[in-house]
């Protein structure tokens, strides 16, 4: 009787432990592998999270796609063969924020912001800032200045130092004549050999400015070296010019030289 009861108890225990009996024990041999779990089909697998496609960095505009014709464009190209369009263009200007001749200097807001950046960087490195002594000039003001030079020196000589009305970058509100706050070599080529002049020649492009009439480019720009004359065209243009090694706007924009008012 006890033998029968014991056998029944053993049988019942095996039935109750059946859900774990099929799992392999840690000591299971290679000859008796555990049954592999079924591989999920492609339809059964959870969809993988798609890898986001990186947004490509936009390429700089080719030089021919910049707006060099409209007077209000910061890349308007003005020289002896390309008058401002329209010739009586009147920009919106604000007083220059950096050191400047009292109450007389004005530029477009974007140029003023870039001047502040240029001045701060120069002061941090040299302990000397930027002083503006000439900036925006209206068509009428340029007419008065040019006619005065003609009366004093004759037209041929005046054309080498002063722009004719409608051909002056100063009318854009984006050009300034500068000197260091130390005042050395104001409106003189020797400015290019001062610490301030050398720093500007090397670093102005980092803030969207170009030395518009560089040394040795008279036949292209129509003017002798003016290390004090800066033109704001924006950091995109100046960075592209640096990459290409272009030293004048004429070369960068591919418009050809403008040595005089002919042709």
Entry pTM: 0.76
194: Cβ contacts below 8 Å, ≥ 6 apart: 180, 182, 184, 185
Question: Is residue 97's pLDDT more than 70?
Answer: yes
Measured CA distances, 50 to 34, 41, 54, 56 (Å): 34, 19, 12, 18
Residue 102 binned pLDDT confidence (cut-offs 50, 70, 90): confident
Question: Is residue 61's pLDDT more than 70?
Answer: no
205: Cβ contacts below 8 Å, ≥ 6 apart: 235, 238, 239, 241, 242
Question: Is residue 73's pLDDT more than 70?
Answer: yes
Full 3-state SS string of the chain? CHHHHHHHHHHHHHHHCHHHHCCCCCCCCCCCCCCCCCCCCCCCCCCCCCCCCCCCCCCCCCHHHCCCCCCCCCCCCCECCECCCCCCCCCCCEECCCEECCCCCEECHHHHHHHHHHHHHHHHHHCCCEEEEECCCCHHHHHHHHHHHHHHHCHHHHHHHCCCCCCCHHHHCCEEEEEECCCCCCCCHHHHHCHHHHHHHHHHHHHCEEEEECCCCHHHHCCCCEEEEEEECCHHHHHHHHHHCCCCHHHHHCCCCCCCCCC
Q: What is the pLDDT of residue 82?
A: 97
Q: What is the pLDDT of residue 63?
A: 52
Measured CA distances, 263 to 82, 97, 173, 257, 259 (Å): 11, 40, 27, 11, 10
Which has the closest alpha carbon to 158: 175, 140, 135, 142? Answer: 142
CB 86 within 8 A of CB 117: no
Give per-residue pLDDT as tens, 116-152.
Answer: 999 999 999 999 999 999 999 999 999 999 999 999 9
- Its sign, for the CA torsion 28, 31, 33, 35, is negative
Q: Whole-number mean pLDDT of the chain?
A: 83
CATH 3.30.565.10 for domain 63-253: no
In the chain, where are the structural domains located? 63-253
The alpha-carbon radius of gyration of the chain (Å, integer) is 37
């Amino acid at each position: 009787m006890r033998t029968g009861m014991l056998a029944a108890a053993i049988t019942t225990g095996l039935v109750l432990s059946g859900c774990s009996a099929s799992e392999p024990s840690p000591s299971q041999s290679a000859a008796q592998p555990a049954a592999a779990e079924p591989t999920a089909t492609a339809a059964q697998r959870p969809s993988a999270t798609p890898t986001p496609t990186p947004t490509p960095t936009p390429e700089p505009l080719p030089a021919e796609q910049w707006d060099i014709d409209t007077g209000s464009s910061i890349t308007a190209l003005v020289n002896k063969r390309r008058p401002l369009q329209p010739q009586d263009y009147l920009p919106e200007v604000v007083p220059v924020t950096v050191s400047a001749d009292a109450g007389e200097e004005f530029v477009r807001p974007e140029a003023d912001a870039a001047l502040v950046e240029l001045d701060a960087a120069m002061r941090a490195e040299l302990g000397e800032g930027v002083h503006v002594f000439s900036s925006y000039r209206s068509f009428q003001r340029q007419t008065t200045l040019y006619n005065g030079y003609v009366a004093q020196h004759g037209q041929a000589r005046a054309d080498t130092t002063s722009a004719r009305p409608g051909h002056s970058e100063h009318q854009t509100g984006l050009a300034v004549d500068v000197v260091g706050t130390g005042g050395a070599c104001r409106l003189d080529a020797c400015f290019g050999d001062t610490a301030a002049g050398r720093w500007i020649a090397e670093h102005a492009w980092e803030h969207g400015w170009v030395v518009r009439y560089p040394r040795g480019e008279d036949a292209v720009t129509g003017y002798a070296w003016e290390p004090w004359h800066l033109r704001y065209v924006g950091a995109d243009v100046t960075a592209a010019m640096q990459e290409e090694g272009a030293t004048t706007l004429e070369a960068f924009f591919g418009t050809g030289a403008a040595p005089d008012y002919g042709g």
